[in-house]
Copies of this chain bind each other. A is one copy, B any other.
Amino acid sequence: MDMRDIAKIVGVSSATVSRVINGSNLVRPETANRVRQVIEELKFFPNTNATTLKYGKSGTYGLIIPDITNPFFPEFLKQFEKILVKNNQEMLMATTDFHSTRLQQSVRRMLVRKVDGVALLASEIETESIEALIHNRVPLVTMDRRKIGPGLSDVTINNTSGMEQAIEYLKSLGHTKIGYIGGSSQRTISDHRANAFLRAMKKFELAVNHDFMRVGDYRFTGGEAAMIELIRLTDRPTAILTANDMTAIGALRALREYGYSVPGDFSIIGFDDIELGELIYPSLTTLRLPRHQFAETFFRALEDAGKDRNAPGKKYTVGTSLVIRNSAGPVRPTTHRRTKNGRQRQPQGA
């Protein structure tokens, strides 16, 4: 079933059918109505692949994400899909599970389908994997990678604002020994966040103890493991910031397992503000990365890049802000059950 079939039935040419479908005003209303009626009756849907072929652009944007299991990504996806559908674009999704081979596979899938651009929310990017995109002039927009170039834009996350709010907040609660659980040490997003942490600590004149800086994997299990390392220290932080909420939630579980209370014994602050943070107990104090705005920015970046494929890449920025819930609270002196060198020892019964 194609436009010619419709045309034959109505007694017009396929060109007229095409015009009707595309809302051209060059068709006599009666003709248009007859065409529409037959289309309706036969439940005809035009084949967009033909259009894609003709114009070389598919009306599809690719979305590559590392881990669909982390609620941040479904929440992003939901917003992104909504924006695309509103703009008559299609979405081609791929996940990488943090594997670079999977990333390359995903890029290939995007390339053979001739997507009009790719939003890459994976952090572990080797240049090799994305070369093919750049080479084929497919606009690429990355997440907080902070490198731009021809056909390569970036949505930079301004961690600084949120991180400063978080540190200031913790300081106001009496915390001075503040730790950080990052993503993998190799990854740029993780580095940017860790650096923002270090800068904020400096700004508020707090000493950084590198023993308090640990590495997770952006997942629950990584946060749990890193928190256990921190618990085992003799000198421990009283507050911990994390690279994302799943890491924070893992840390919370480690603390629960070891019999510590939050925020009584330790304060935990996450990053992302996934919905789950509101549902767990204690609810998660976190740095919010506004999801809709984030998705919107990616879309805008893709559109901009698509308009002129020779334009240089651009840098876009979204901010972060502190959302106060119940996983951070005032420091409690009795937290330090064991201390190094006998300093800071607290009375047992107080």
Residue numbers of A with Cβ under 8 A of B are 1, 43, 45-50, 52-53, 58, 68-69, 71, 73-75, 77-78, 81, 85, 90-95, 105, 108-109, 111-114, 131-132, 135-136, 220, 249, 253, 256, 275-276, 279-281
For A53, give its contact among B50, B112, B279 (CB under 8 Å): B50
- Among A71, A105, A113, max chain B CB count under 10 A is at A113
Q: Considering the chains assembled together, what is the distance between the CA atoms of A310 and B71 in angstroms? A: 40
Q: How far in angstroms is the closest Cβ of chain B from A56?
A: 8
Could you name 14 residue pairs across A and B whose Cβ atoms are closer than 8 Å? A1-B136, A43-B132, A45-B132, A47-B112, A53-B53, A68-B77, A68-B78, A71-B71, A71-B74, A78-B95, A85-B109, A90-B113, A93-B93, A256-B281
A52: nearest chain-B partner, CB-CB: B49
| Residues B92 and A136 in contact, CB atoms below 8 Å apart | no
Q: Considering the chains assembled together, what is the distance between the CA atoms of A53 and B114 in angstroms? A: 14
Q: Considering the chains assembled together, what is the distance between the CA atoms of A152 and B105 in angstroms? A: 32
For A112, give its contact among B45, B91, B114 (CB under 8 Å): B45
| Residues A91 and B93 in contact, CB atoms below 8 Å apart | yes
| Residues A49 and B53 in contact, CB atoms below 8 Å apart | yes
Known A-B contacts A53-B53, A279-B253; A85 and B105 likewise in contact (beta carbons under 8 Å): yes
Q: Considering the chains assembled together, what is the distance between the CA atoms of A136 and B44 in angstroms? A: 8
Q: What chain B residues lie within 8 Å of A47 (beta carbons)?
A: 53, 112, 114
Known A-B contacts A69-B75, A249-B279; A49 and B58 likewise in contact (beta carbons under 8 Å): yes
A44: nearest chain-B partner, CB-CB: B136
| Residues B43 and A131 in contact, CB atoms below 8 Å apart | yes
| Residues B69 and A78 in contact, CB atoms below 8 Å apart | yes
How many copies make up the complex? 2
Q: Considering the chains assembled together, what is the distance between the CA atoms of A50 and B50 in angstroms? A: 8
Q: How far in angstroms is the closest Cβ of chain B from A112?
A: 5
Q: What chain B residues lie within 8 Å of A71 (beta carbons)?
A: 69, 71, 74
Q: What chain B residues lie within 8 Å of A1 (beta carbons)?
A: 136
For A69, give its contact among B45, B92, B275 (CB under 8 Å): B275
Q: Considering the chains assembled together, what is the distance between the CA atoms of A58 and B111 in angstroms? A: 15
Q: What chain B residues lie within 8 Å of A81 (beta carbons)?
A: 93-95
Given contacts A69-B78, A253-B281, A281-B281, 6 further A-B contacts (CB under 8 A): A43-B135, A45-B112, A68-B74, A69-B71, A73-B74, A91-B93
Q: What chain B residues lie within 8 Å of A220 (beta carbons)?
A: 279
Q: What chain B residues lie within 8 Å of A78 (beta carbons)?
A: 68-69, 95
Known A-B contacts A52-B49, A53-B50, A113-B49; A136 and B43 likewise in contact (beta carbons under 8 Å): yes
Q: How far in angstroms is the closest Cβ of chain B from A315?
A: 26
Q: How far in angstroms is the closest Cβ of chain B from A326?
A: 12
Q: Considering the chains assembled together, what is the distance between the CA atoms of A50 and B52 in angstroms? A: 9
Q: What chain B residues lie within 8 Å of A90 (beta carbons)?
A: 92, 109, 113
Q: Considering the chains assembled together, what is the distance between the CA atoms of A269 and B57 in angstroms? A: 50
